[in-house]
């Protein structure tokens, strides 16, 4: 005789989703304070207000939880950046907007920002990620003869790594008030845009930033 597990009810599905959300939010909170490496499962379940068995019903380890938190952020971030790429015709303006979006996590979502900064493997994931459409945007700009770049991926990795350093500077409260604008210009210069045009592009990006954000 084969015994099958009872089908999940809508109520159970809602409870499962609620517990998972608590774990994701609790994990974000704890990771942002002390980093993934120093965090224990006990720290997470205390912050989330759930039991240890409940934790393991959803995640096999704290690292699995951290990866899901990162994946959730990347999904949302990618959607926004792809929307910018579709709506903004000038790739230079699109990239300037996306740089501003990346740096804005320091003020808009400091919890996720600290989670990446304080966690070595998540920080490495951000820098080397192939989930970000930045390289594709750079290649599109090269094809349009807007950018002068030999290796879009190398430039994209460099930009993401430097962006994290600027994010940390903002989080620490030590960043210059013009940090975002200066970094946008630096990125555009890397892509072959002249200093004079950088100023114009950054102003255009600032005007469009909220309009194209979702």
Tell me how far apart the alpha carbons of residues 192 and 147 are, in angstroms, rounded to a whole number: 5
Domains, in order of start, for the chain:
11-212 (1.10.357.10)
- Pairwise pLDDT comparison (182 vs 70), residue with the higher score: 182
- Residue 3 binned pLDDT confidence (cut-offs 50, 70, 90): very low
- Residue 211 binned pLDDT confidence (cut-offs 50, 70, 90): low
Q: What is the pLDDT of residues 107-128, one digit of tens each?
A: 888 877 887 787 776 666 666 6
- Output the pLDDT for position 131: 59
Q: What is the pLDDT of residues 133-145, one digit of tens each?
A: 788 889 999 999 9
Is the predicted pLDDT of residue 103 greater than 80, yes or no?
A: yes
């Amino acid at each position: 005789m084969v015994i099958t597990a009872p089908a999940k009810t809508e109520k159970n599905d809602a409870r499962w989703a609620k517990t998972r959300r608590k774990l994701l939010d609790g994990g974000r909170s704890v990771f942002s304070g002390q980093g993934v490496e120093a965090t224990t499962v006990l720290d997470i379940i205390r912050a989330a207000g759930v039991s240890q068995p409940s934790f393991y019903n959803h995640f096999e380890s704290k690292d699995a939880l951290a990866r899901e938190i990162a994946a959730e952020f990347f999904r949302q971030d990618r959607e926004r950046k792809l929307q910018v790429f579709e709506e903004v015709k000038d790739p230079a303006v699109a990239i300037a907007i996306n740089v501003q979006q990346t740096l804005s996590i320091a003020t808009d979502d400091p919890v996720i920002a600290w989670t990446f900064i304080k966690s070595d493997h998540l920080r490495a994931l951000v820098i080397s990620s192939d989930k970000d459409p930045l390289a594709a945007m750079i290649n599109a700009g090269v094809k349009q003869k807007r950018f002068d770049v030999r290796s879009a991926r190398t430039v994209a990795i460099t930009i993401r790594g430097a962006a994290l350093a600027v994010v940390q500077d903002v989080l620490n409260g030590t960043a210059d008030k013009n940090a975002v604008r200066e970094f946008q210009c630096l990125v555009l210069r890397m892509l072959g845009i002249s200093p004079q045009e950088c100023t114009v592009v950054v102003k255009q990006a600032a005007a469009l930033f909220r309009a194209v954000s979702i």
